[in-house]
Amino acid sequence: MLSRSCEGRKVDRALLRTIVEQFVARTGYRQSDLQEFGRLAGGLIDLAEAEAVVDVAEALCRHPETPRELIAKLFDLGGTCARIALEHAPDAPLAELTAYAEQGPTDFAAAIARRPDLSRDVVSALAARSESAVLHALAANRQAYLDPGALRSLIQVARDDQGLARILLDREDLDVDPEPLFLAATPAEREKIILSACRSALSSGAVESAARPDQRLGSELEALALSGDEGATISRMADALDARKSRIRRIFLDEGGEALALALTALGIHPDVATRLFICHRRAAGLDAKKMRALRALMTSTPARAAARIVAAINGNRDPQRRVAGWREEASASAGARRRPAIGLKASAEGRKSARLDQSA
């Protein structure tokens, strides 16, 4: 009896797979043929095990003429079958999509986020979720329209989610404010972000007066760094920048060092004191003479307003803004026309000369 049952399930699975493969191989069916296929396939779906239905679910969902009652059966089965239907079934009920987007399981919401036909309400519901899988899928969906509200929600989360930030930075089709995503940027992208901020600061019309170093704060930070109390150093900087300690910690742990250099510049820390802070810091960058020259050049060449703008964006003290589309290209095109901050591995003699010019401006 058991052997016949197992054999019967194998036959059902093979028959279901065969008729679905034959059905999806062409289009242009007559209505009577669709009705007959719906009856036969529906009966086999009722008899087959869930794994057998999963094998054919995506093919059924992707075919434009699949009878609606078969798609409904996939939803009724739940689990993987429902997830596949949520992602691939055409003309899925909007109310059902919205409900799952708002409160459905994570894998269901992530499946919806990959659909190419998302409505504005569904996008907003998905962008309000907190799960990385959902937000990553939505951000990577180039066919979904991300309105300013949804994009702002994604960027807010991306400040603390490097994977999401990286997806957004890779979306060259989006008019995204890159400054909150600075920590996930590549060295080349960081250079362009800083250059763009410097251009904005220099074109704002305000005169960049020579910043007076904050000697008291510098002395406090240096004493804390010398004591080896990184936690206290981070806490003091967080207070000074009115930022979360967790975000200042990420600035400290940033491998490139540019974020910390910008934070110290924004706080008005003298470059000599900042250099000693880097040396005291546990990261290898503090012991690399070439890297230290590059970071010092960055601090002396970046206007305090530009540094403060980027640091505020990283820390969430400034809402993401709608930037000029194509900031990457604009920054590259203007690099030769304007003084360029020397950062990363490009702290050449020319960069240091530019730094002195910017500092005297």
Give per-residue pLDDT as tens, 43-70: 999 998 889 999 999 999 999 999 999 9
The residue among 176, 196, 225 that closes a domain is 176
Which pLDDT band holds residue 139 (cuts at 50, 70, 90)?
Answer: very high
- Looking at the domain assignment, is residue 192 inside a domain? no
Domain count, the chain: 3
Q: What DSSP state is assigned to residue 211? A: P
Same domain, 172 and 227: no
CA distance 57 to 61: 6
Say whether both 225 and 354 belong to one domain: yes
Co-location of 227 and 352 in the same domain: yes
236 is written with which tokens?
């003091």
- The Cα–Cα gap between 265 and 219 comes to 15
How far is residue 310's CA from residue 313's CA, in Å, rounded to a whole number?
5
Is residue 268 domain-shared with residue 332, that is, in the same domain?
yes
Please give the pLDDT value at position 305: 92
Cα 219 from chain centroid (whole Å):
37
Residues 232 and 350 in one domain: yes
- Give the contacts of 124 (CB within 8 A, at least 6 positions apart): 147, 149, 150
Confidence at 282, pLDDT banded by 50, 70, 90: low
Tell me the mean pLDDT in the region 251-264: 92
pLDDT of residue 23: 95
Higher pLDDT, 27 or 352: 27
**Which whole number is the average pLDDT over 247-270?**
92
Does 110 fall in a domain? no
Centre a 10 Å sphere on the Cβ of residue 6 and count the other Cβ atoms it contains: 10
pLDDT at residue 347, rounded to an integer: 38
Write down the mean pLDDT value for the chain: 84
Decide if 213 contacts 300 (C-beta within 8 A): no
Q: What angle do CA 116, 118, 140 make, to 5 degrees?
A: 55
Task: Look at residue 204 and tell me if it is in a domain.
Answer: no
**Do 146 and 228 share a domain, yes or no?**
no
With CA atoms as reference, report the closest residue to 215 among 296, 273, 298.
273
Residues 241 and 337 both lie in one domain? yes
- Say if residue 102's pLDDT is above 90: yes
Q: Looking at the structure, do residues 230 and 170 belong to the same domain, yes or no?
A: no
In a domain, 338, yes or no: yes
Together in a domain, 227 and 340: yes
Residue 207 has pLDDT above 60, yes or no: no
In a domain, 210, yes or no: no
Q: Summarize the confidence of residues 344-351 as an average pLDDT.
A: 39
Q: Where does the pLDDT of residue 152 fall: very low under 50, low under 70, confident under 90, or very high at 90 and above?
A: very high
* Number of neighbouring beta carbons within 10 Å of residue 187: 12
Six token digits for residue 78: 């739940």
Give the structural domain span for 323: 215-360
- Residues 69, 165 within the same domain: no
Q: Is residue 284 part of a domain?
A: yes
pLDDT confidence tier of residue 334, bands split at 50, 70 and 90:
very low
